């Protein structure tokens, strides 16, 4: 058990432990979904409200732990393994934070998601931009289009551009907190545009 695996295991255990601790305090109908304005528009049962996210976190943790062993280009993942491992930890922490906020919301501490979610997404987007500067060609992590997977040069050029765009998307997501009512547009639109643009860019570079 290396340090990475210990941290991942700790995140998974914490997600289940906090769910067990809060379970008796949760209402029979648990708020589980919010619209773009931050208003609740979906509910689930107490059990799934408490334990669905921990199960998802567990599933993602197992997938991420398996990727370096099942990827046909796993040798390339080892070249940026440190950054890959940090990405795994950050995304699991991000999901744990969402889970904690959901539990708090349903037990009386209603912190607006539009005040916290864009910040978490922004930090995650920004680190993805950092990851892109180190990522080598593989089948699971990065801007994986038929053209980037077919050419090392296309992969590198696409990820250099993607790194800049995702960092900008991260900053815009955080800035969106200062525009109540439009916050989630700042968090979602820039990263979608970045993903679409880099996909088209990879095709154009491949054609050249």
Q: Report the 3 state secondary structure along 165-187.
A: HHHHHHHHHHHHHHCCCCHHHHH
The verdict on 40 and 98 lying in the same domain is yes
State the Cα–Cα distance between residues 113 and 147, nearest whole angstrom: 37
The verdict on 145 and 106 lying in the same domain is no
Q: Is the pLDDT of residue 1 over 70?
A: no
Which residue, of 111, 141, 170, is where some domain finishes? Answer: 111
| Mean predicted confidence (pLDDT) in 91-104 | 96
State the Cα–Cα distance between residues 184 and 38, nearest whole angstrom: 9
The whole domain housing 166 covers: 112-208
Q: Is the backbone of residue 104 left (phi > 0), alpha (psi -120 to 50) or beta?
A: alpha
Confidence of residue 111 (pLDDT cuts 50, 70, 90): confident
Confidence of residue 161 (pLDDT cuts 50, 70, 90): very high
Percentage of the chain exceeding pLDDT 90: 84
Tell me which residue of 85, 72, 190 sits closest to 139, measured CA to CA.
72
Which residue, of 96, 111, 126, is where some domain finishes? Answer: 111
| Mean predicted confidence (pLDDT) in 78-82 | 95
Q: Is the pLDDT of residue 62 over 80?
A: yes
Q: Is the backbone of residue 118 left (phi > 0), alpha (psi -120 to 50) or beta?
A: alpha
Q: 181 with 118: CB under 8 angstroms? A: no
Mean pLDDT across the chain, nearest whole number? 94
Residue 38 pLDDT = 76
Which residue, of 65, 84, 111, is where some domain finishes? Answer: 111
State the Cα–Cα distance between residues 39 and 116, nearest whole angstrom: 14
Number of domains the chain is built from: 2
Percentage of the chain exceeding pLDDT 70: 100
Strand partners, 33: 42
pLDDT in tens, 123-139: 999 999 999 999 999 99
The verdict on 52 and 131 lying in the same domain is no
Count, in order, helices (H) and strands (E) of the chain: 7, 2
Pairing, β 29-34 against β 40-45: antiparallel
| Mean predicted confidence (pLDDT) in 182-193 | 92
Q: Is the pLDDT of residue 169 over 70?
A: yes
Strand partners, 29: 45
């Amino acid at each position: 058990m290396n340090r990475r695996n210990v941290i991942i295991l700790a995140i998974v255990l914490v997600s289940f432990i906090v769910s067990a601790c809060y379970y008796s305090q949760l209402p029979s109908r648990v708020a589980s979904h919010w619209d773009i304005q931050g208003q609740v528009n979906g509910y689930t049962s107490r059990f799934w409200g408490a334990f669905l996210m921990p199960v998802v976190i567990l599933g993602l943790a197992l997938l991420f732990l398996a990727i370096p062993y099942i990827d046909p280009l796993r040798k390339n993942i080892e070249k940026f393994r440190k950054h890959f491992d940090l990405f795994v930890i950050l995304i699991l922490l991000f999901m744990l934070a969402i889970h904690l906020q959901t539990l708090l919301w349903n037990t009386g501490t209603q912190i607006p998601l539009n005040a916290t979610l864009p910040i978490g997404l922004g930090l995650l987007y920004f680190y993805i931009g950092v990851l892109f500067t180190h990522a080598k060609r593989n089948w699971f992590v990065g801007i994986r289009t038929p053209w980037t997977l077919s050419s090392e040069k296309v992969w590198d050029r696409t990820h250099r551009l993607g790194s800049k765009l995702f960092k900008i998307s991260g900053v815009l997501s955080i800035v969106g907190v200062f525009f109540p009512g439009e916050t989630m547009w700042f968090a979602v639109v820039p990263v979608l545009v970045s993903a679409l643009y880099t996909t088209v860019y990879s095709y154009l570079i491949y054609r050249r």
